[in-house]
Amino acid sequence: MRVEPLIPDAASSPVQSPANAAGFSQALDALGALFGRADDAENSFADGKGDLQTAVYERARADVALSVAAAAAQRAAGALQTLLNMQI
């Protein structure tokens, strides 16, 4: 009897590095920076130093980032709830 080794068709996936524990706090800091830029642009417009287009654009960017963060948090909470409802 002759046994030949199994050769995979696809290349093996690279080893992934462990997740960065500070990633969540970095994401929150980036979200806070977006809101800070939006507030600064709005305050500049109110003081007559900036233009309306920049203020609206920065506020829209901050709103989109908040929507994405809220959707991600909702999906993560749903996944966690599914895990917690599993019977062991």
> Within a domain: residue 71?
yes
* Single-letter residue type at 24: F
| Model pLDDT, residue 17 | 67
Q: Annotate 53-73 with b (16+ C-beta within 10 A) or e (fewer).
A: ebbeebbeebeebeeeeeeee
Query: Whole domain around residue 38: which residue ranges?
Result: 26-85
> Within a domain: residue 80?
yes
> Within a domain: residue 21?
no
DSSP for residue 55: H
68 — pLDDT class (breaks 50, 70, 90): very high
> Within a domain: residue 56?
yes
Question: What is the average pLDDT score of the chain?
Answer: 87
Number of domains in the chain: 1
CB 6 within 8 A of CB 15: no
| Model pLDDT, residue 15 | 65
> Within a domain: residue 37?
yes
> Within a domain: residue 65?
yes
Question: What is the distance of C-alpha 66 from the center of its chain?
Answer: 10
Q: pLDDT by residue (tens digit) across 12-49?
A: 667 666 667 688 888 889 999 999 999 999 999 999 99
**Global model pTM greater than 0.85:** no
| Model pLDDT, residue 25 | 87
